[in-house]
Each structure stands twice: as structure tokens, then as C-alpha cells.
Chains A and B, each alone.
Chain A
Amino acid sequence: MRPTFTIWICSLVILGICSGAVADDLYVACHADVPLAAADVRDVFLGEKQILNSTRLVPVDNLAAQPAFLEKVLKMDAIKYDTIWAKKSFRDGVNTPVTMANDAAVLAFIRRTPGGCGYFTVEPPVDVTVIGKY
């Protein structure tokens, strides 16, 4: 494992410990090659915008940050969110976003998936594109 990655993991652990102080920050980030605008985040996570510059957008949910994300970004509760996605999936055949356990899983997915988008409880590293901070 590279030293920088170890340092970053350690930083995340430290941030997690200190999250009580800064628990309100939420970061939406995408794969480094996805120049997504902050205004498109809602559409992406509700399945309305699925393609950007010929790249299929793949939103993923972060179980650790989903409530905050639904509240701050999508302005809805989890039931509504599931209902929308149920309709969306039945009507348009679009799969609902995969739910990841935490920031690290989301970060790993985004890094390896072109078009991948997720949200973090801490500021993600620079090798992904941060779309917005909420």
C-alpha cells in the first residue's frame, strides 16, 4: 500500500473521530473525468440524467451519509427516494443506485468506475472531482 493512501486512510479515521465537530459537511464527488455541475446532482441521483458527454453516469449511495444527502441535497426522505426509484426502475428500466457502506467504498467505486458519482461525509481526495459541498 502506498504511503499516501495510508496517510489518507489515517486522516479519514481521524476525521471520523472528529466528525462530531464537523458532522454537517457533505461532499458530492464524481470520477475524475466527469465534469458534472452541481445543479445536475439531483437529476443524477434521481435517475433523470444518466448520460454526460457519452459517459453513463453511475450514482452510488453511501449508507453512512445517505440521510444527510437526502436531506441536504435531494430534499426528501428515504421513502420518497425509494418510491421515485421504484417508479423510475419500473418505468424506465433503470437500476437504482448501488448502496455502499461508507466513504471508502464509495471512493473506491468512483475511482474505478468512469461516470461514477457518490457523496462523502468528508472531503474526498483530489483524484476525484468534487462537485459540491453541502
Chain B
Amino acid sequence: MKRATDKLIALQFLAVALPIAVVLLVQMAVDARRAASLEHSRPLRILAAEARAYYKIFMNGAADVVDTGTLGAQSVEALHSSAGELAGLAIIDETVNVGDAAAVVAGLEAIIPKGATLNTLVPLRARIIQGDVLTKAIDDEYERRDELVVREAVASGVRQKYAVGGALIITTMLTVLFVLATRRRLKASLEAEISAERQQRAELETMSVRFGVATRAARAGVYELKRDGLDLWWSDSMYELYAQSSQVFRPTIPSWLGLIHPDDRESAQTAITSAMREHSQLRSQYRVVRPDGSVCHIASLAAVVTDSIDASPRLVGIDLDITERVEADDRERKLQQQLRDASRHAGMAEIATNVLHNIGNVLNSVNISATLVSDRIKNPKTAGLGKVAALLQQQGPDLEAFISTDERGKHLPVYLAQLSEQLMLDQRATLQEIDLLRKNVDHIKEIVVMQQSYSKLVGVPEKLPVASLVEDALRMNAGAFTRHGVSVKCEFEDAPEIVVEKHKVLQILINLLRNAKYACEASARTDKQVVIGIANQAGGVRIAVTDNGVGIQPEHMTRIFSHGFTTKKDGHGFGLHSGALAARDMGGVLRVDSAGLGHGATFTLDLPLKSPEIICG
């Protein structure tokens, strides 16, 4: 705008100055030319006029001769002067034919003496008249020329006048045009500026409205604190935030501090003082006690600003009403506590479920072993031994004869030998059951330990042959397979030892074998079979438990490892879930594959040679 106006002013100045300058220059040139013409013309004109005048004096003198009789000296002198002027004129100016006149006058001068009489002059009348005509012609010519010069000068002056007038008119017109153009441009520019300013104002108003709406919606207020700390400006929403009237309350630091909860005043003031002193960001939180006694939690965020508006630093910030957030945080904290408690209870319940499930599995074996031992103890094979003892007591002294002669006595040693052998077999079987019982009890103990380790997130890895792990698991389920007529087939490759937590693997395998037994038991087929295989694979081993039982429906394949999912009447839906988790904990994976109902299923446990935590350790 300023640049356009300067440009217009410069153009306007040019428009005014240029024509005047041109006219002045032209006028100066014309004046110079006119002066030169006059300077040249006027002396010639004077010479010619003088020559003519002198000649006329002579002629008058000649005419007076008619009365006086003789020509006076003055007339002769005038003739002489006229001849001299003409001679000079002829020398100065060659453009006019002065020569004839000069010659005639000079000739008359030569022949007319002072004191000449009429008789002398009359014969010369023709030449005198010729001289008169010639001098008059010369005088007229120079007069004409002078008049031309003067006329030209006058015309030039007139032209100059018109030129000046024209220049003034042009200048005036240009000035008017430029004034109009400038006015139009300025008007357009001003209108554009006003329009832009209006637009900016509208945008500012819109922004202000938005800002006000936003701050009110956000329950926020804006403030600005000058360096002196006394001049404090609040936005409208700030008054609303502090529940103060903008008409009554004058915001200053002391008045503001008066609104803050006594316990928070010092920290709030310190925060502001520190931010102003160190030009750092302000982040503080305090409580405000409103006039109605309610307490409002305020979060204040501010920064020190130094801009072109005011060179002194100002603290510009925003106060947010975070009462709801604080209350929500309190509620959330309580809920979190409740959730933690519920989770702990749930975890305890899950652990209990897990323990009960796994221990329940083992307790089945324990129960079987205990039943077998109990049966053997209840129905001892030694019942006939009492009869043998009574029979031998009845014989008394005849015991020898009885053994050697009596048919019953003869069979007695054989019976006792067989009885002894039977007792030894029973003892061995009982011991086996007791050993199995002990192992199961140990497994229960380990399950408990493992559950404890879950809570501690600590395991006890061991380096074990895979086959022994599988055999242990088979042994723990051997009775069940036998009772339910399920044949077990082992297909073991030579596998390297793996470093795992034994009872995690056992827990998985026992679950898989027990599920395989249940699948076979539920099947109507007679050739119930479970195949357990060990195979090497890159970086680990694969243990596969395959049964030809009832199989798994395709829609159950994706849910089979989910917690709580089971297809058994009395199942918990925990075994495969915990097995998959245990496999993952060891860096392995538990998978299932089934061609569908009636086609059996294969569960595959892939285990690395070393579980991840061991590798890291």
C-alpha cells in the first residue's frame, strides 16, 4: 500500500513536473533564439533606418535649396552619413542588396558639394529619387525583417503562452487523472485493506468465539502475567473457572493467591516465581476454594513469552479445571485396587484350579495304586498259610511222619515254596505300586512346587533324555490304558537330551496321554490305540501323541487350547490351555491336528534343545 502510494505520488509528480519542465526548456530555447534574432536584426534595422533618415535629411535639404538657393552643410553631412551607414550595412549584411543604394548615395555624395545650387541638384533629381527609393527600400526591407522578427517574437510569445497554457492544462488534466487514479487506487487499496481487516477481524472474532467456546468446553481459562507481577490479565473463562465476577474481582497475584487453597498457596506462588525468574515452563497443580466453598482442582500450564508486542517477558498460561479428572483418578485408583484384588483372587482361583486339575490327574494314579495295594493287603495270598500252621501244630510229634507219609504232608513243602514265590511276587508288585505311589506323590509335590514357581516366575530346568520323560508319563498312565483296553505303541527315535523343566513336560504329556485315553475310551472301535513318538527336528525334538479315538470337530480346532474349553462331561477346560502355556514358556509349541470326528487326533509338542530362559541364562 505504502509502496503503491509512493509510486503514485512519484508518477503524479512526474506528470506535473515533466510538462512544465519541457515547456520551460522549450521556452528557454525559444527565448534564446528570439533574443539572438532580435540582437541580429535590431542593429541592421537601426543602420538602415539611420541611413534612410540621413538620406531624408539630405533630401529635405535639397528641397530647401528651392528656397535657400544653396545646399547646407548639414544636408551634405547627412548625405555623407547616409553613404557611410549604407556602406557599413553592405559590409555587415550581405543578404540584402544594399550595394546599389550605397553606390547611388556614394555617387551623389561624390558629386554634390556643400553649397550646391538647385541647378546642380535638379539634373541629379532622378538619381536623388533613385537613392530615395533605394534607401527607402532598404529601410523598408530591414523594417520588414525587424517586424518579422518582432512579429515572430510576438507569435513565439503567443505560442509560448499557449504552450504554457497547454502544459498547465495537460498538467492539470494529468494531475486530475492521477488524482482520480490515485484516489481510485487508494480507494481500492483501502477497500481491500478494509476488507482484509474485516476478514481478519471476522476470523479473529471467530477464533475468539471458538477459543471462548473451546476454553469453556475444556473448562479452561487463559491468563497473562506481566513482569511486575501485578498486572494480571484473565480471560472470561478464567473468571468462570474461579467463580468470580469480572466486574468485581480484579486479578492480581495477591488476589489470585487468596483464592487458592491455603495448603497449595506456597507451591503455586513458588511455581510462578520460578518460571518468571528462570524463563522456564510452568506446570503446577493446586486447589481453588470457590466462594460457595467447593474445591476445584486446577492444573496450570504456562510459558514465558517475549514478543514484539511487548519487549518485557510475560507469563502466558492456561488453567485447566481438572476436578473431574482428579476425582476420576481417585475412582480409577480405587477400581484398580479392586481389580488387583479381584485379579489376585482370580489368580489364586486359577492356580487352585490348576493345582487341583493336575493333582487330580495324579491322584487318579495314586488312588489306583493305593487301591491295588489295599486290595493286595485285604486279600493276602497268605490266608492258606494259617491253615498250614494249624495243620502242622495238630501233628505235634508226628510232624516228621506227617510230612513224609501223609499225602497232605507231602504237598506241604511244594505249597510253601509256591506260597513263598507268590508272596515274593505280591511283595514286588506292592513295592512297584508303592514306588509308583511315591512317584505320583512326588509329582504332586512337584506340581505344587511348580505352581509356587509360577507365582515366583522361576523354574528349575534339568537336562533330561526325552525318552525317559515320555516313559515316565506313560508309566503314570499305564494302569488306565490297561484297564480301558488301549494299546500303547512307542515309536522313539534317538533324540538328544533337552534342558527343560521336567514337571512342565510331564504335566503336558500326562494331559496329552490322558486325553488320548479318553478319546479312545469314547470311541466305539475295538482296536483302541495310542501311538507316542519321538522325532528329531531342527533345533529340538518333537513328541507326538496320536490316538485313533473320536477325533475333533473342525470348529473346535481353534478353541481347543482356550481356557475353559472342553468336550468332556467332567472336564475343566484347563489341561490343554495350561499345557500350551507351559510349552510356550519353554520356548516350544503345542499343536493339534485332526481329520475330524471319528478320525482320531494328533497332539504335537515341539520343544527346543534349550528353553529360552536357559539360553539367556
Task: Show the binding face of A for B, using Cβ within 8 Å.
Answer: 83, 86-96
Which residues does chain B contribute within 8 Å of A92, judged by CB atoms? 59
Residue numbers in A under 8 Å from B136 (CB-CB): 93
Contact across chains for A93 and B66 when beta carbons are under 8 A apart: no
Most buried by B among A83, A88, A90, A94: A90
CB–CB B59/A93 < 8 A:
yes
Cα–Cα, bound, A95→B133 (Å)? 10
Residue of A83, A92, A93, A96 with most partner-chain B CB within 10 A: A93
Q: Is the CB of B66 within 8 A of A86?
A: yes
Residues on A with beta carbons closer than 8 Å to the beta carbon of B62: 90-91
**Shortest distance between the CB of A84 and any CB in chain B (Å):** 9
CB atoms of A89 and B60 under 8 A apart: no
Contacting residues of chain B (204-245) with chain A, CB-CB under 8 angstroms? none
Those of B342-390 within 8 Å (CB) of chain A: none
Kindly provide the distance from the CB of A65 to the nearest chain B CB, expressed in whole angstroms: 24
9 contacts between A and B (CB under 8 A): A83-B66, A86-B63, A87-B63, A90-B62, A90-B63, A90-B125, A93-B128, A93-B129, A93-B132
Report the Cα distance A95→B59, complex, angstroms. 13
Give every chain A residue within 8 A of B122 (Cβ-Cβ): 86
Q: How far is the CA of A90 from the CA of B133 in the complex (A)?
A: 12
**Which chain A residues border B132 with CB–CB below 8 Å?**
93
- Which of these, A86, A91, A93, contacts B118 with CB under 8 Å? A86
Q: How far is the CB of B595 from chain A (nearest CB, A)?
A: 150
Complex formed: what's the CA distance from A95 to B122 in Å? 11
Interface: B121 (CB within 8 A)? yes
* Per-position 1/0 for B111-128, Cβ under 8 A of A: 000000010011001101
**Roughly how many angstroms separate A14 CA and B65 CA in the complex, as a whole number?**
46
**Set of chain B residues within 8 Å of A91, measured between Cβ atoms:** 59-60, 62-63
List B contacts of A86 (CB < 8 A): 63, 66, 118, 121-122, 125
Which B residues form the contact surface with A (CB < 8 A)? Answer: 59-60, 62-63, 65-67, 118, 121-122, 125-126, 128-129, 132-133, 136
* CB-based contact A93/B63 at 8 Å: no
**Interchain CB contact under 8 A, A89 and B125:** yes
CB-CB under 8 A from A93, the residues of chain B are 59, 128-129, 132-133, 136
A-B residue pairs, 6 tightest by C-beta: A93-B132, A90-B63, A91-B63, A90-B62, A87-B63, A87-B66
B128 partner, pick from A87, A88, A90, beta carbons under 8 A: A90
Determine the main DSSP class of A at the interface with B: helix
How far, in Å, is B616 (CB) from chain A's closest CB?
144
Most chain-B Cβ atoms within 10 A of its Cβ — which of A89, A92, A95? A89
- A96: nearest residue on chain B (CB-CB)? B125
Closest A residue, CB atoms, query B131: A93
| Closest chain A residue to B129, Cβ basis | A93
B contact residues around A90 at 8 Å (CB): 59-60, 62-63, 65-66, 121, 125, 128
Q: Chain B residues with Cβ under 8 A from A96's Cβ?
A: 125
Interchain CA distance A30-B234 in the complex, whole Å: 123
Contacts of B128 in A (CB 8 A): 89-90, 93
The residue in chain A whose Cβ has the minimal distance to the Cβ of B126 is A95
Closest A residue by C-beta to B135: A93
Contacts of B121 in A (CB 8 A): 86, 90
Residue numbers in B under 8 Å from A87 (CB-CB): 63, 66-67
Sample of 14 more A-B contacts, CB < 8 Å, known A91-B62, A93-B132, A93-B136: A87-B66, A87-B67, A90-B59, A90-B65, A90-B66, A90-B125, A90-B128, A91-B63, A92-B59, A93-B59, A93-B128, A94-B129, A95-B126, A95-B129
- Which residues on A sit within 8 Å (CB–CB) of B59? 90-93
Residues of A within 8 A of B67 (CB): 87
How far is A88 from B63 in the complex, measured between Cα atoms in Å? 7
The docked-state distance in angstroms from the alpha carbon of A86 to that of B121 is 9
User: Whole-angstrom distance from the CB of B135 to the nearest CB of chain A?
Assistant: 9
Bound state CA distance, A116 and B118, in angstroms? 29
